[in-house]
Amino acid sequence: MKTLTFDESCLQRSHLRREKISKDDLLLIRRLGIRDWNGREFDDDHLIRFSEWVVNEDKSVVFKGLGGGAFEIPKMYSLFFNGEHVRLECGGGGSEASKFLKYPDGTYDMTVCVSCIRIPSKLADKQEFVLELVAEAFAVDYFSSLWPRRLLHVEFNPPLIYAGITGSGRPVSQ
């Protein structure tokens, strides 16, 4: 298992930021093919009114939660980087998507449990960088919230990390 840990100082060092999705972003969302956990297009009005994502300044890096996370369904995310789509699943099948540790002072640590990540074969040689970028996006999202927090841990489960996706869309195990 690989674990990356962040504290709030990541917000000052990161080139990523969490921002509200605007009407101007809808074209990019459609161009990238961002859909919900079930493959359906997001409702434009809902995206504009309620949704946020983590992006860099020119939006060449986009990290978006897709939903899921109920019952046996994993919580799902997409990362777009270098024109490629990295798919993530957290929890599912009875496993937790995230865990919290509350301290007596009311602050929290959170652990995100990435149970599956599909990295396209074009990014296979950048796998470590992609894992760091995913963890950084989770950290920016987490530390941009208003509730009191200390640390974020992002756990990647090695047996479920894929180095590429075949032409059929099936993952190729490392």
pTM of the full structure: 0.89
Question: Is-contact 9 153, C-beta < 8 A?
Answer: no
Question: Is-contact 33 166, C-beta < 8 A?
Answer: no
Residue-level pLDDT at 159 = 47
Task: Say how far apart CA 140 and CA 106 lie, in whole Å.
Answer: 20
Per-residue pLDDT tens for 36-90?
A: 999 999 999 999 999 999 999 999 999 999 999 988 899 999 999 989 999 999 9
Model confidence at 154, pLDDT cuts 50, 70, 90, reads very high
DSSP state of 124: G
Per-residue pLDDT tens for 96-136?
A: 999 999 999 999 999 999 999 999 889 988 989 999 999 99
Task: Say how far apart CA 69 and CA 31 lie, in whole Å.
Answer: 25
Question: Is-contact 18 53, C-beta < 8 A?
Answer: yes
